[in-house]
């Protein structure tokens, strides 16, 4: 038989390629084709079983009764389920085997400072291929998590992302500076909600000001930008006004910047430009 002609290492490589945490049946059936292969893959099958059980437990916290249901889900939501950093790392590994998922919602204040970073680090090229909406709300992302997410986007994860919410996630200037170029390279991005984060002028300038440069990718389809409760001051407002006036945000229909520390005249300058461009401005 062709399988018997392969070396043990080659058989183990094939077994590894067949492993799917949420659908382990194919790999298990393959390992059962011979007693030798079953022995060779003993440790790997044990790990696959452990990973399957972890995936099933995570799915149950999202209301999915089985790994099959999780695998076929179009929407997955975790609201205050006390997920740990390890849980988010597990979720990151699952993201490569959830082809139907379109909406991912994560509101987990107890997930620790490194949870989203560990999740993002697991997102390989093409991960979450159908997801168009991510809502991470009240979960710590921080600058390290934002940078890890930028790297994941750069690898080709989330190719169809349209709506991204990173609300109250502790992203500062350094985090948004790291994330901004990756966001501008997401051609389908239509809505960006960044409310409740401590970034200020440097962060917002990195997001919108480079878009005025001819060689820089632009947020050409962005329709809504929510900057409420951030630390944008006068210089950041000037960058916003300049970006609007230069046509760098041609599809923008609404911009929000309630409760930011900019002076009234700086905010009024943004509103003035927005008015003539028929952009709804909430400030």
- When pLDDT is averaged across residues 78-94 and rounded to a whole number, the result is 94
Q: Higher pLDDT residue, 19 or 49?
A: 49
* 95-151 confidence digits (pLDDT tens): 988 999 999 999 999 899 999 999 999 999 999 999 999 999 999 999 999 999 999
- Provide the 3-class DSSP secondary structure of residue 282: strand
Q: pLDDT of 165-181, one tens digit each?
A: 999 999 999 999 999 99
Q: How far is CA 28 from CA 41, 65, 80, 224, in A?
A: 9, 22, 34, 47
Q: What angle, 0 to 180 degrees and rounded to 10, lies between the N-to-C axes of helices 264-276 and 234-246? A: 10
pTM of the model: 0.89
d(CA 129, CA 158): 6
Distance spanning both ends of the chain, measured CA to CA:
72
Instruction: Answer whether 168's CB lies under 8 Å from 142's CB.
Output: no
Which residues pair with residue 281 across a beta bridge?
A: 255
CA distance 122 to 238: 37
Q: What is the model's pLDDT at position 16?
A: 47
Tokens coding 147: 């940078």
Report pLDDT for 10: 55
For 72-282, the fitting CATH number among 1.20.1740.10, 3.80.10.10, 3.40.50.261, 3.40.30.10 is: 3.80.10.10
Which tokens is 187 given? 């051609």
Q: How confident is the model at residue 26 (pLDDT cuts 50, 70, 90)?
A: low
How is residue 215 written in tokens? Answer: 């060689």
212-225 pLDDT, tens digit per residue, is 455 677 899 999 99
CA distance 27 to 17: 8
CB distance 184 to 214 below 8 Å: no
Collapsing DSSP to helix, strand or coil, 23 comes out as: coil
């Amino acid at each position: 038989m062709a399988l018997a002609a392969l070396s043990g290492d080659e058989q183990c490589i094939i077994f590894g390629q067949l492993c799917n945490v949420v659908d382990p049946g194919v790999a298990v059936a393959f390992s059962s084709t011979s007693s030798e292969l079953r022995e060779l893959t003993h440790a790997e099958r044990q790990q696959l079983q452990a990973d399957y059980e972890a995936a099933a437990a995570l799915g149950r916290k999202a209301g999915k009764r089985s790994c099959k249901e999780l695998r076929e889900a179009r929407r997955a939501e975790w609201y205050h389920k006390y997920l740990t950093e390890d849980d988010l790392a597990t979720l990151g590994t699952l993201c490569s085997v959830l082809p139907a998922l379109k909406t991912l919602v994560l509101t987990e204040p107890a997930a620790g400072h490194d949870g989203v970073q560990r999740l993002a680090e697991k997102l390989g090229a093409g991960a979450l291929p159908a997801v168009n909406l991510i809502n991470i709300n009240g979960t710590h992302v921080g600058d390290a998590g934002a940078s890890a997410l930028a790297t994941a986007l750069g690898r080709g994860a989330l190719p169809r992302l349209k709506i991204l919410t990173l609300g109250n996630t502790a992203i500062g200037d350094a985090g948004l500076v790291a994330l901004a170029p990756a966001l501008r390279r997401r051609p389908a991005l239509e809505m960006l909600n960044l409310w409740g984060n401590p970034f200020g002028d440097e962060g917002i300038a990195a997001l919108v000001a480079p878009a005025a440069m001819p060689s820089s990718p632009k947020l050409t389809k962005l329709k809504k930008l929510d900057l409420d409760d951030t630390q944008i001051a006068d210089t950041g407002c000037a960058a916003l006004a300049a970006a609007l006036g230069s046509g760098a945000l041609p599809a923008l229909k609404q911009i929000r910047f309630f409760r930011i520390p900019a002076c009234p005249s700086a905010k009024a300058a943004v509103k003035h430009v927005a008015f003539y461009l028929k952009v709804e401005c909430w400030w």
